[in-house]
Structure 1
């Protein structure tokens, strides 16, 4: 086994061991009972856990590490840059921070902290995970039977094609964001661990569909033109700004859970200010991530077009060297 796969597998094992060690202690809780003070030292000491989410992170991370090991062992000549693996590992580490750090514990009490958690999932975890090229890794690491029986048919299925059609992907992403910010749905997610888990899953799924089309790292058919990618990102920015402006300009708290929490606690901002801070986090950092993606997309678009121009110039130069001039199409037989 090479050193890199060992490192990835060791990282997954260390995460599992840490979770097992902390589960019996009082450090891990998600009911907000430790969120009694807004002092920085206390805040940094309060960690929580999302057991289903942690289990999924460990399982998926382990599968990726196993696939990476198999790829290095069975196809050492296949070009799969190491930065793919480290991007995926970084994305899963951010996911763990979002599910276990004080961000999660205080998300029950502060809307703006919950918004940070959502930004981490949709703007950081999803793109980093997809930069890991998981589909390419799965196709190369799987056995021929699994690849031909399951993976290829799934990736080429009508359902996947429908979900990854650019208009469908952006509609699903917008629906996932706006529906879960509806007051009743948002309050339900705070009140129920099961609903909260579903909320995070929907956010991640919607973000993955969008970023998969934008990033286009995996060697699949899901590679829209750069115009489509920029259009998707512009629409994502506009909906982000729209929802953020609504939450900033509304004259009263829209989420009963956070209004109640603000009335009970003796620290932190009031409910309306808390809501406006969270909306600002959605608006500014979220939109900045999309704007950065637009810049990168335009850059690679320009690079691609420049490569085409250089290739055409090279062909023209070769034609001049061989023929003395650029060949032109003469009239067809019978035409003058």
Structure 2
């Protein structure tokens, strides 16, 4: 198992250093920054809506969940994770290292998505839209039938898992590396599916569904860990683009093994923490119910 060798870990440390990536990225990017208007413009728009919605709620002295310090901090950290993943520096180097690309995906799926969900960013954004255009807010609230279906935890779990696995199919992954707008669509789907998944779990757990939420997150840990293990134990590189980028099959395979370990261990740890948090809330809720009955 190559990832147990000391030389593998020396390579792993080097692979994640921005200076190493810069040696290759400079040939094409010349910068650690990715200032794609298709990415920056929507981020700026949603940031403006979020901040405008917060100001609107504050002026009306609405001290709801979106205005709590912990909620606001979560939203800010989610925005920082988005910035790191899409603008600086991970996106500039992701095409040269699968490990860096996997770290970028992790920031979107288990970084930005849950943080923005716990930050309840939908409340200020909806408030801003309603204040600016009540008709638009009304139109966005029309598809209630589909919304009820998507609010089912099993549906959110399935969609979230499907997005992760489908985008890592070699043919589709390679296509996303070659076509910029498909690459953006890939990242957008990771973010939306992750955000919706955690939003549904939070909503469901508030209705005393902590146990099923914990089971859902731990199940996600297992299937993403399986995908990470497939990358780690693969006998050959799965993506031809990274063979060319790394310069050899051996280097590409070590890069892929590091990517698999990132998905298997740190990403799994994030899901484990989330699952244990829901499980702890479930136990607290059960203890509280027993005390009330006694």
TM-score, scaled to structure 1? 0.72
Choose the corresponding residue for 1:254, options 217, 238, 252: 238
In the alignment, structure 2 segments of 5+ residues that lack a partner are 1-19
CA distance in 1, matches of 2:195, 2:235: 34
Bigger mean CA deviation after superposition, 144-153 or 132-141: 144-153
Alignment of 1:154-233 (within 5 A): 154=143, 157-216=144-203, 223=207, 225-233=209-217
Mark the CA change 1:140 to 1:82 in structure 2 (over 3 Å): closer, same or farther.
Answer: farther
Q: Does residue 84 of structure 2 align to residue 82 of structure 1?
A: no
Matched residue, 2:225: 241
Deviation string 1:20-60 (CA, Å, 9 cap, x unpaired) is: xxxxxxxxxxxxxx955279xxx9x7333333122111111
Ranges of 4+ aligned residues in structure 1 off by more than 3 Å: 75-80, 135-148, 150-154, 220-224
CA distance in 1, matches of 2:22, 2:293: 67
Alignment of 1:129-148 (within 5 A): 129-138=116-125, 142-143=130-131, 145=134
Choose the corresponding residue for 1:263, options 247, 257, 264: 247
CA distance in 2, matches of 1:113, 1:133: 29
In the alignment, structure 1 segments of 5+ residues that lack a partner are 1-33, 314-336
Matched residue, 2:253: 272
Shift of 1:168: 1.2
Choose the corresponding residue for 2:138, options 149, 153, 156: 149
Matched residue, 1:73: 59
TM-score, scaled to structure 2? 0.82
Aligned partner of residue 298 in structure 1, secondary structure: helix
Q: Over aligned residue pairs, what C-alpha RMSD do you find?
A: 2.9
Shift of 1:198: 0.4
CA distance in 1, matches of 2:106, 2:260: 11
Matched residue, 1:95: 82
Larger relative CO (CA 8 A, sep 6+): 1 or 2? 2
Shift of 1:72: 0.6
CA distance in 2, matches of 1:124, 1:36: 24
